[in-house]
Structure 1
Amino acid sequence: MRIWTLHPRHLDPQGVVALWRETLLAQKVLQGLTRGYTRHPQLWRFREQDEPVGAVSAYLWEVHREATRRGYRFDADRIAATPWSGRIEATTGQLLHEWRHLLGKTALRSPAHHATLLTLPRPEPHPLFTLVAGDVAVWERSVGSTLP
């Protein structure tokens, strides 16, 4: 499961579809509707919020906007009707870590998209996130961190 800090516009087609699917799964986990993935580290930052389901649904709405912009037909009825207007802090280190991860993925599976990404001056975060200075998040498994 990868719920990107990066703005969904940076993702290649496979990435947007996977993000939609995986974030819908995350929403089910946060709603208590599944047994699996309940301790997944990617959910930690949503669980910290006053309304975790609302936070993940706010995240999903932006993914849906990006999908619609691309002409995809994602079912908005699958997004929980839990309003939330907060923001989540994310570190610059996490954003850059994910950017490098995305560049590695797209170099292999979407070379044309990868080339487009390389022309960008810097990655943008998903609008749900407010960037703050800092290292890679403690929940990020790929760098050997452990949850607090």
Structure 2
Amino acid sequence: MRVWSLHPAHLDRIGLVAGWREGLLAQAALRRPEGGYGRHPQLERFRASTDPLAAIGAYLELLADEADARGYRFDRSRVVAPRTGDPALVDAQLVVTTGQLAYERTHLLAKLDARSPADAVRLRADPLRAHPSFVVVPGDVAAWERTHPRTARRRSRR
């Protein structure tokens, strides 16, 4: 499971669609934590929020906004707790570190270099931004992230 902390605009088409699918999987895991992905390390940050389902709902809604901007259609009815109020305002209660963002950028660039070189060039030129659901704080790669070289190598083949 990869729930990107990066802004959805950084993702290519494949990454955006996969992010939506993974976000829906995360939502299901948060609803039923006793299941297979219920204890997945990436869900720690959502479980730490005051309302995990609202947090993943806002995350998914913002992915759907990016899909809309690109002319794609994501089925918003699948979001269990959609955000309410002004869509431009996000109650960013999730935290991501600068080190985690940098790690994810490197991880995404490895994928883009292989499947979408033009998007890799664009990502290298763009200023690094976080998904709007996250507040960025200084720090290292998240403790839950698996940064072992063999694991990273296996993941980049996906």
TM-score normalised by the chain length of structure 2: 0.85
8 Å CA contact 2:96, 2:134 repeated in 1:
yes
Which residue type is aligned with residue 100 of structure 1? Answer: T
Matched, 1:47 2:53: no
Q: Superposed, which structure 2 residues align to 1:100-115 within 5 Å?
A: 100-115=106-121
Structure 1 residue runs without a partner (length 5+): none
8 Å CA contact 1:41, 1:141 repeated in 2:
no
Matched, 1:134 2:139: yes
1:88 paired residue among 74, 84, 94: 94
8 Å CA contact 2:92, 2:134 repeated in 1:
no
Compared with structure 1, are the counterparts of its residues 76 and 82 closer, same or farther at alpha carbon in structure 2 (3 Å cutoff)? closer
- In 2, the alpha carbon distance for the partners of 1:95 and 1:55 equals 19
The SS at the match of 1:142 is coil
Superposed CA offset, 1:70-111 (max 9, x none): 111110100113557342121000000101111111000101
1:33 Cα shift? 7.7
- In 2, the alpha carbon distance for the partners of 1:34 and 1:97 equals 29
* Residues 28-37 or 14-23, more deviating: 28-37
1:39 Cα shift? 1.2
Number of aligned pairs?
A: 143
- In 2, the alpha carbon distance for the partners of 1:72 and 1:83 equals 20
Which residue type is aligned with residue 138 of structure 1? Answer: A
- Amino-acid identity (%): 50
Q: Superposed, which structure 2 residues align to 1:115-130 within 5 Å?
A: 115-120=121-126, 122-130=127-135
The SS at the match of 2:106 is helix
Structure 2 residue runs without a partner (length 5+): 85-90, 150-158
1:119 Cα shift? 1.7
Please list every run of at least 4 consecutive aligned residues from structure 1 whose deviation after the TM superposition is greater than 4 angstroms: none
- In 1, the alpha carbon distance for the partners of 2:83 and 2:65 equals 16
For residue 2 of structure 1, what is the aligned residue in structure 2?
A: 2
TM-score normalised by the chain length of structure 1: 0.90
1:141 Cα shift? 1.4
1:25 Cα shift? 0.6
